[in-house]
Every structure is written in structure tokens, then in C-alpha cells.
Amino acid sequence: MLPILNLGPLAIQTPGLILLIGVWIGLTQAEKYARFLKIDSDHIYSLSLLTMVAGIFGARLSFAAQNPAAFQNNWTGLFSLTLQMMDTFGGGVIGLLAAFIYGQRKGLPFWKTLDVFTPGFAVLAIAFGFAQLSSGDAFGAPANLPWSIHLWGEWRHPSQIYFILSAGLIALLVWPRSGSRFNPSGVRFLVWIGSSALARIFLETFRGDSPILIESLRSSQITAWLILAGALVLLNRRLTHNNILPEAQTPQSNPE
Amino acid sequence: MNSIFDNRRWFFPLVLVLAAAWIVLTAFINPPPTQNRPAAARQGFPAPQISLTSFDSSSISLSDFQGQVVIVNFWASWCPPCRTEMPAMQAVYEEFGHYGVTILAVNASNQDDPLAARRFITERGLTFPILEDLTGATARTYQVSALPTTFFIDRKGIISKVIYGGPLAEALLRAEITRLVKEQP
């Protein structure tokens, strides 16, 4: 665990630095894949930038809307550089909304654009795992195993490492390469999101910080199951609408 | 992958059923850990004990403030962000003190000049308890790797937020304190 990286007089927040590197590599991959899929990479760059800027502003405004008293006599606080004054959910919603509007205005193909970003998302997920490892977030449940790590006063499952490994495997699965067939457009993205949700359902069991919905049911698993169900429904629809029919209806299947 | 897609009529529902079964089974066979956590310098964990002497030579423990909202701020007089955020600390202490909010400013005395620290306290008119961590043991217990580092502790003694670095915005201090004050002990 290394939440702060001390470089001379500078104290750098390691998780933030790792995420920044992840965003940079992810964006580079997205731009590269956009050229391959014959989508204007400038649009992809602008879309990413707009989403991030709208997300940051949205996160701060959403935080302020939830804590109006804190800013009542101190409105300049709205422009403070403090990263903790951000509401992730609000920022995410506003960022995605901005991205959707930009995509519509520029006539970007919805599913193909999501496919373009999929390798980037896969890289970002790995970076997210390393960021959690450095901050000690998403820690594991207490466990006495040969590979347990000592964290927050106990031996625990290295849940962050489990997550990094699963994100790495999923990245390998959806990474664009010759021979991998993800047709029609959108399938690559849906496979990534579905696999990630499935991994979350499995790995959440080993977490020590799971919020509980009712009784012992973990709310993250329920959310992940709903995302998985949505991804499979959309995947089925994408495949069916493009005349890629289930085996029962096709005389010859063409396994990958 | 295509073979999976070809067999999706039975494969997709099977995945959903197995995933649902895993969720239900693990909820009962391997339920989430209870909240009986050891003390650790981490959000959601009981705050480790602090027992130090203040600059006015009185002994102060974190347990003296049981049932109160406590902000533990690690600082040093040579650290510019620590100096910048202190007026905001004093302002919220004056405003929220009567709601049962305390600030314990732990001076990293093992790496600070005591005279400079005293001068800073007097200059800024700081009235909340300021403790001397002469050996750095408390900072080590709280895994402080940068100054300032601030811990927000709720009325139950659980750390609700940790902020590494600074200066802390007054708005953030107010937002966190307002939230913690509203919580029932």
C-alpha cells in the first residue's frame, strides 16, 4: 500500500497518478482502434475530453447541490482543487450525458463508438485495480491463506490483486487482434461489460467491505447481476438483429 | 467465442441462473465480515487510540472525546498546506464546537521546531487542543506518509473519511462536519 508517493518536496497521490496513466494509455488505445475502425480519431479525442471535463464539473456541482450549506458563505469553494469534493455518481451521469449529446450531434455510430473505447476501458479497469491496491481500498475479507496480505490490522484476501488479474484476463479476451471475431458492432463492448459484471459477482465474495442490501446479500453483487442481465439481453438482441442466429436455427455454426 | 454466441439460447440464461445461485449461496455460506474490525487508520474502522501531551502540558486522549465528532489533523509548522488550512480549522471549531465537534491537531514534533510551532499557534490564535507527537509513534500508528493528513471520526469512534494532503477547503470541512453532526451517536 502506497497512498502517497513522496518525491522530494512533492507528495503525489499514487492512486490518482495511476488512474491518470490508465486514462492516457486507454485514450491512446481508443484513438488507435478508432483509426482501424475508420472512425475519425479527432472525434474520439474530443468526445473523451468533453466527457472528462463535463464529468469533473458535474461531480463538483452535484457535491455542492448535496451540501449547499457548506458553500453558502463561501461560494469560491466551488473552484477549490480539493478532489474529495466530488460526487462520483453525479459526475458520471453528467459526463455520460455530455458524451451522448456530443455523439448524437457529430453523428457517431453508437455501438461502434463503444467498441472503439472498449480496449481503453479494459486498460482503465486494470489501472483502477492498481489504484485500489495503492490506496488500500476494496480490501479483502479476513483470511489465513498462503497468499493473504496484511492490511488494516488483519491478514486478508488480496482482493485488489484478484481484481487486477480478472481485469487482465478480460482485457485479453476483448483486445482487438487478428482472428478475434466480435461482430456485429457493440458485441466487443457488451462482452467486456458482461464479463466484468460476472467477475465482480464472483470476486465480491472475497471482499471485506461489501455493502449489504438485505440479510447477507451484497448489494454490489445484485447491481452486477442486473448489469450482466442487461448486457446479455442486449448482446442477444445485437446478434439476432444481425442475423447471427442460435445454433438450433443455423445449419452450420462457425466456432471461433 | 462464436460457439458461445451460437448456443446463447441456453448459455445466457444458464450464466444468469448460475450467477444468481452464487450470489445467494455465498450470502449464506460465506457472509460478509461483521463490523467488528480492529482499530486501523482507515475509513470504516475504529480510530486507533491517541494519548499525547498538549502544548499547554495537559494529557489528552482520543477517548476523552467519546461521543463527539473528532477531527484529527497531523501537521507541522514548516508545511505550507498545513499552515494554509489552519484558519479554516479554527473557523469551523468556533462554529461547530458547541455541537460536540473537537479538533485534535497532532504536531509532528519529531520533525518540527517546537518554537516555530508555538509561534505559529500564537500568531493564528488557535484554540483547539494541539498535541505533541514527540516520537512520531502516533503518526506511524495512523500511517501518516504526508502532511497534512486529516481523519474525520464520527460519534461512535469510527473513521468516516481520510484526507491525504491539503490544504483542505473550508467547504469540505463544513460538509463533512455537518454530515457527522447530524448522525445519531
Which chain A residues have a beta carbon less than 8 Å from that of B168? 82
pLDDT tens for each residue of A186-199: 999 999 999 999 99
Q: How far apart are CA A184 and CA A239, in angstroms?
A: 7
- The answer to whether the Cβ–Cβ distance between A253 and B6 falls below 8 Å is yes
Domain ranges of chain A: 111-242
User: What amino acid is encoded at A246 in this protein?
Assistant: P
Cβ distance of A255 and B6 shorter than 8 Å: yes
Nearest Cα of chain A lies from the Cα of B9 at a distance, in angstroms, of 6
**Cβ–Cβ pairs < 8 A, chains A and B:** 149
Backbone angles phi and psi of A6, in degrees to 5: -90, 110
Could you count the other beta carbons within 10 Å of the beta carbon of residue B133?
A: 24
> pLDDT value at position B113?
93
Q: What's the confidence (pLDDT) of residue A243?
A: 60
Q: What is the structure's pLDDT at B34? A: 66
Q: Which residues make Cβ contacts (< 8 Å) with residue B142, sequence separation at least 6?
A: B41, B48, B72, B74, B149, B151
Q: Which of A13, A67, A198 sits opposite B165 (nearest CB)?
A: A13
Strand pairing class (A149-151; B51-54): unpaired
Of A87, A205, A218, A254, which to mutate for an interface test with B (greatest number of B Cβ within 10 Å)? A205
Our CA-based measurement puts residue A55 at a distance from the nearest CA of chain B, in whole angstroms, of 19
Decide if B2 and A215 are in contact by the 8 Å CB cutoff: no
| Chain B: closest CA distance from residue A170 (Å) | 13
Q: Which residue of B has its CA nearest to A232?
A: B12
Contacts of A162 (CB under 8 A, 6+ apart): A140, A203, A206
Helix, strand, coil content of chain A in percent (nearest 5): 65, 5, 30
**Tens-place pLDDT, residues B5-22:** 888 889 999 999 999 999
- Identify which of A177, A18, A35, A189 has the alpha carbon closest to the alpha carbon of residue A120: A189
* Phi and psi based region of residue B98 (left: phi greater than 0; alpha: psi -120 to 50; beta: remaining): alpha
Helices (H) and strands (E) in chain B, counts: 6, 7
Q: Cβ B33–A141 below 8 Å, yes or no?
A: yes
- How high is the ipTM of this complex? 0.84
Q: Given a cut of 70, is residue A156 above it in pLDDT? A: yes
DSSP classification of residue B60? E
* Polymer length of chain B: 185
A176 pLDDT above the threshold of 80: yes
Q: Does B29 touch chain A (CB under 8 A)?
A: no
| pLDDT of residue A249 exceeding 60 | no
pTM of the model: 0.86
Residues whose CB is less than 8 angstroms from the CB of residue A84 and which lie 6 or more positions away in sequence, other chains included: B161, B163, B172
Of A42-51, A110-119, B23-32, the poorest mean pLDDT is in B23-32
Evaluated on CA atoms A141, A142, A145, A151, the torsion sign reads: positive
Interchain contact, B174 vs A209, CB within 8 Å: no
Judge whether residue A81 has pLDDT over 90. Answer: no
pLDDT at res. A73: 75
Supply the DSSP symbol for B159: E
Nearest to A205 among B1, B30, B179 (CB): B30
Phi-psi region of A211 (alpha: psi -120 to 50; beta: other; left: phi over 0): beta
**CB contact B3 to A (< 8 Å):** yes
- A147-176 mean pLDDT: 95
Helix (H), strand (E) at residue A180: none
Distance CA A114, CA A127 (A): 19
- Rounded Cα gap, residues A91 and B148, in angstroms: 27
Residue A247 has pLDDT above 70, yes or no: no
Contact B12 A235 (CB under 8 A): yes
Using an 8 Å CB-CB cutoff, list chain B residues near A210: 32
Q: Is the pLDDT of residue A110 over 60?
A: yes
CA distance A90 to B71: 27
Of the candidates A11, A67, A232, the beta carbon closest to that of B146 is on: A11
Phi, psi of B39, deg, nearest 5: -65, 130
Cell (9 digits) for A150: 496484511
Q: Which residues of chain B have pLDDT under 50?
A: none
In our burial notation (b when 16+ CB lie closer than 10 A, e otherwise), range A136-164 reads: bbbbbbbbeeeeebebbbbebbbbbbbbb
- Region A84-107 average pLDDT: 94
Q: Cα(B11)–Cα(A44) distance, rounded to whole angstroms? A: 34
Interface of B with A in 106-165 (CB under 8 A): 145-147, 161, 163-165
